[in-house]
Amino acid sequence: MGGGPFCALMVAMAVAAPVAFGCSVSIGCNIDVHTVRPEFSVAVMHDGQPLRGAKVHVFEVSEDKPLALEFETDASGQAQVRNLKPGRWSLSVSYLGVSGGGGCLRVSRSPLRAARRSLSYNWGESASASTTISGSVVDSQPGKTGNPLLDRVRRIQVPIPGARLRLESPSKGELGTKLTDEKGEFSFDEVPDGVYVLYIENVRAAIAVPPTQWLIRKLSAASSTQVVFFTQGDSGACGGPLAALFR
């Protein structure tokens, strides 16, 4: 994950970034490796309850036309993954567009007693707690000294008014939308404790910012954690549409 003063837009808030999982041909499957059967089940829970409608994405780790499969959990929170070829796969569980767990799979070529018939994940447990769902959206622009190198380091933060933020609960649905004010600030007040997804949309800045979503746990007793979200700026240092830097 990259980031730094060269990034062109950042969102400073007391929230947590989502966790992404996956394996690639270049890095291989060396984290959370599970040996599974060609057919197995995936259980997805949230706050102790089965989560219906979660997506289970399975990607073949291959250089030659890799397969990408998608399955969905039913009312019992179960998804049945079927017909995987022997080899290495990457699995990711998501809900409301936010990843909630995953890892690497190794599908055995022959039946193994140790091969797992099921996996389970708790969506939302990766969210860091914060006392509020509030923050600001600013455009980080080059300085105005006239020195190109110095201006790239000593950037100025320009508030972005009119950015649209939408809050959604996995159990209650959409809870409302907010527009950033003239200072680029927003706040979702009187939100009960729980896990939410915050969608950041319609950000008008010097660069195009695609809609993005972040996982947040509102907890009144927590200590706020400030997170700065960087979009890919003019230096390309951020490595993607949005990355998170804790500070």
Q: Strand 33-46 relative to strand 116-122: parallel, antiparallel, unpaired?
A: parallel
Which residues lie across from 195 on neighbouring strands? 217
92, pLDDT greater than 70: yes
Query: What's the rounded Cα separation, in Å, for the pair 199 and 98?
Result: 10
Query: What's the rounded Cα separation, in Å, for the pair 180 and 231?
Result: 18
Which residues lie across from 59 on neighbouring strands? 68, 90
8 A C-beta contact, residue 26 and residue 215: no
Query: What residue has token string 């997170």?
Result: 227
Task: Flag the least confident range among 103-117, 146-160, 200-214, 218-232.
Answer: 218-232
194, pLDDT greater than 60: yes
8 A C-beta contact, residue 119 and residue 36: yes
Query: What's the rounded Cα separation, in Å, for the pair 46 and 52?
Result: 10
Q: Which amino acid is at 56?
A: V
221, pLDDT greater than 50: yes
Over residues 144-166, the pLDDT tens digits come to: 888 888 888 887 777 778 888 89
Query: What's the rounded Cα separation, in Å, for the pair 137 and 155?
Result: 15
Query: What pLDDT was estimated at residue 148?
Result: 86
3-state secondary structure at position 48: coil
Query: What's the rounded Cα separation, in Å, for the pair 131 and 240?
Result: 28
List of domains in the chain: 9-18+128-246 (2.60.40.10), 33-122 (2.60.40.1120)
